[in-house]
Amino acid sequence: MRVRVLSEVHDEEALRSVEEALREVYGEEVEVEFVERIVSEKFLNKDRGQYDAWRIVKEYSPTRRPDEYLLLVVEEDIYAAGLNYVFGLAWQGVSVISAHRLRQEFYGMPPDRKLFIERLRKEAVHEIGHLHGLTHCSNRKCVMAFSNWIGDTDYKSYMLCGQCRRRLERGSEI
| Residues with catalytic function | 127
Q: Judged by CB, which is closer to Zn ion: 15, or 128? A: 128
- Strand segments, DSSP code E, in the chain are 2-7, 30-34, 44-45, 50-52, 68-74, 78-79, 88-91, 94-98
User: How many residues belong to the site for Zn ion (CB under 5 A)?
Assistant: 6
| Residues 6 or more apart in contact with residue 152 via CB below 8 angstroms | 140, 145, 146
Choices 25-33, 47-55, 72-80, 140-148; region in contact with Zn ion by CB under 5 A:
140-148
Decide if residue 21 touches Zn ion (CB under 5 A). Answer: no
- Minimum Å gap between C-beta 139 and Zn ion is 5
Choices 20-28, 79-87, 98-106, 138-146; region in contact with Zn ion by CB under 5 A:
138-146
The end-to-end CA distance of the chain, in Å, is: 14
Decide if residue 161 touches Zn ion (CB under 5 A). Answer: yes
Decide if residue 139 touches Zn ion (CB under 5 A). Answer: yes
Q: Beginning with the edge strand found earlier in the chain, give each strand of the sheet holding 30-34 in spatial order.
A: 30-34, 2-7, 68-74, 94-98, 88-91
Q: Judged by CB, which is closer to Zn ion: 65, or 166? A: 166
Q: Judged by CB, which is closer to Zn ion: 4, or 167? A: 167
* CA–CA dist 151, 142 (Å, integer): 14
Binding site for Zn ion (CB under 5 A): 137, 139, 142, 144, 161, 164
